[in-house]
Amino acid sequence: IIATQSLKFGHFTNMNDIAEGKRDVYGMVPPKTILDELSKYQSISLTLDDSSHRGFYIDPLWGHYAQGGNGVCLVFDMDKLALSVREQFGERATMGPIQYSSGHSNAIFTEGDSQEKVKKFIKDNLKEVFFTKSIDWEYEQELRILIEGLGTEEKLLYGDDALIAVIVCLPKVEDYKESAEFKV
């Protein structure tokens, strides 16, 4: 990530929130058509600071995403990262905080009886489909970068000045002392 100055977009089927990766879909077209349209989107998830604490202080995130607390947290300047997103992806990208709801469901009820109408429904409802999650995930303070993908693995090139800090947490440093990654 640091050497290439890039972040890889992920597919929703690989999310740890099962409500995002395995959706119940309903509509007037076959569910596969809806799932195929949803699979065209890719995302990058980040954590925001809030008024009470910095994002890298959220202990459960170190447990979920840093191999049990062994890892690093990359800190970005959000304005510069947003500029990189706009410059590279333009209208294909949407960036914003996740909204959390106690009544959130993974089900998607699309409107329309054709693939084109389903595609339009998803575009018109991006906030509800991709930027709303169960309140159970609220502690993550998630910011999401969403792109409508081209079917290939895409990367966000963030440039030199967007990365402003690297927080290192290696309580089991003895496991890494002789690895190439540790030396780099």
- What digits encode the pLDDT tens for the residues 125-158? 999 999 999 999 999 999 999 999 776 779 999 9
Instruction: Report the mean per-residue pLDDT for the chain.
Output: 86
Which percentage of the chain shows pLDDT scores above 90? Answer: 46
The dihedral through the CA atoms of 30, 34, 40, 44 has a sign that is: negative
Most distant CA atoms of the chain, gap in Å: 58
Query: What are the backbone angles phi and psi of residue 153, rounded to the nearest 5°?
Result: -70, 125
Q: Per-residue pLDDT for 60 more than 70?
A: yes
Tell me the pLDDT tens digit for each residue of 11-46: 877 777 777 767 788 889 998 888 888 889 999 999
Could you tell me which residues come within 8 angstroms of residue 165 by beta carbon, excluding any fewer than 6 positions away? 74, 75
The pLDDT, as a whole number, for residue 169 is 81
Please report which helix (H) or strand (E) contains residue 126, including its range. helix 126-130
Residues counted in the chain: 184
The pLDDT, as a whole number, for residue 178 is 61
CB 157 within 8 A of CB 81: no
More confident residue, 11 or 79: 79
Q: Per-residue pLDDT for 63 more than 60?
A: yes
**pLDDT band for position 65 (50/70/90)?**
confident
The pLDDT, as a whole number, for residue 141 is 94
